[in-house]
Amino acid sequence: MRRGEIDGARQAPKRAVLGTIVEAFEIASPVEAIEPYGRGLINDTFRVVAGGTRYVLQRINGAVFPDPLRIMSNIQVLDRQARLHPDLGFRVPVLIATRTGEAGLRAPDGNVWRLMTLIEDAVGLPRLETPEQAREVGRLLGRFHTLLQSLPADALSVTLPGFHDTPAYLARFLSVLARVEGARNDPDVEIGVRFALDRQALAKRLADARDRGEIPVRVIHGDPKLDNILFDRDSGRALALIDLDTLQPGLILHDIGDCLRSCCNRSGESAGGLNRVSFDLAVAEPILHAYAEQTRAWLSAEEIALIPEAIRLMPFELGLRFLTDHLEGDRYFKVAEPGENLRKAGIQFDLVTDIEGKAADIRALVSRWNASEV
């Protein structure tokens, strides 16, 4: 893909254009408000109020997702599955069809837009503050996986080929590093590069276990970071996992590792200043405990045994992706300023270092999986 294509796609559409797009969907009128929403790094998201109802409008990044309509059909599979299991109390945003009955709108410039209902009375949390909130996260992820594990992995389309393919991310990093002249002259880049080169062997651990048939491909969320978890405004119960773009076949361990890398790093993905990046074991324990309660009946011993590896792998993978994107000129992840991807790579790598120092504690947490206290 060429640079200009992505930059063009990144320009914020004008209000009038947004209004026309919204009106192509089956919604009540009049459209009362459209405003930017959330802090996703890939798609553009807006909150829409129309006829007193609130919706989420998104432009799916066509430079990332090769066939955005596959995302919508996967969401419909999830929705059907959630309706079959109301006992799991899982809320799924409802896709609103266009006035011509399509699941999404292909605009004249080629971008695909979709409109969903906003999950009402639900809030996101900037960080987990209590063990109860952490338990809710584990319970939700466990229920989500339980809901989906009865589906064959190929019941879902691949929306993002190569997603969480850590060996491929490493290969790309190495080729970009070789291609970008003078990349290593920046001392901050050099620190990240050395860190990544020292840990190349880590990249293939889970992929190897999968290729040897030790762990199965199942249906996963792909991006269960804290920002994508909604809690009931009143009861505090976790209600929904949103951002379903990467709902597709994958490894459960990718989801577990990704959720923990996000939730247990309480200073966040962009922490600045004097905050020391740390993996908070007091958050990890209730998440894993609650997750184990939900998944005990079907999660395999091989998957459980690899959880500590996954916890170390996912921040490494994300750090590698941020660093590669920095070297490539910030083409994939949105940045507010140059250098942001490099800084965020450093934060993920610091998290890996902290996790490495806590490896024995993390193993001890996981080894209690089948014991009565978990």
Cβ distance to ligand GN1 smaller for residue 122 or 305: 122
152-181 binders of ligand GN1 (CB under 6 A): 160
Question: What's the CA gap between 50 and 21, in Å, rounded?
Answer: 13
The reply on whether position 303 binds ligand GN1 by CB under 6 A is: no
The residue whose Cβ lies closest to Mg ion is 223
**By the rule CB under 6 A, 268 interacts with ligand GN1:** no
Q: Quick one: which of 6, 9, 37, 40 contacts ligand GN1 (CB under 6 A)?
A: 40
CA angle 152, 154, 159 (to 5 degrees): 130
CA angle 258/264/266 to nearest 5° reads 120
d(CA 221, CA 241): 8
- Does position 115 interact with ligand GN1 (CB under 6 A)? The reply is no
CA nearest neighbour of 320 among 247, 372, 361, 261: 261
Q: Applying CB under 6 A, does 285 fall inside the site for ligand GN1?
A: no
> Does residue 42 belong to the site contacting ligand GN1 (CB under 6 A)?
yes
Binding partner of 41, given ligand GN1, Mg ion, none, CB within 5-8 angstroms per partner class? ligand GN1
Tell me if 255 contacts Mg ion by CB under 5 A.
no
Query: Taking the alpha carbons of 133, 241, 172, 11 in that order, is the dihedral positive or negative?
Result: negative
Q: How many positions of this chain bind Mg ion (CB under 5 A)? A: 2
Please select the residue that binds ligand GN1; options are 269, 280, 285, 350, rule is CB under 6 A: 269
Distance CA 362, CA 314 (A): 15
Give the helix/strand (H/E) hosting 49.
strand 44-50
Near ligand GN1 by CB under 6 A, which window of 243-251, 303-311, 349-357, 362-370? 243-251
Residue 64 CB, nearest distance to ligand GN1 (Å)? 6
Residue 302 DSSP symbol: H
Q: Does 227 bind Mg ion (CB under 5 A)?
A: no
- In the chain, DSSP finds a helix count (H) and a strand count (E) of 13, 11
225 binds, among ligand GN1, Mg ion, none (CB under 5 to 8 A by kind): ligand GN1
Q: How far apart are CA 309 and CA 125, in angstroms?
A: 27
Among 46-54, 124-132, 220-228, 351-359, the segment contacting Mg ion (CB under 5 A): 220-228
CA 8 to chain centre: 24
Residues of this chain that interact with ligand GN1 (CB under 6 A) are 40-42, 64, 160, 223, 225, 243, 245-246, 269, 318
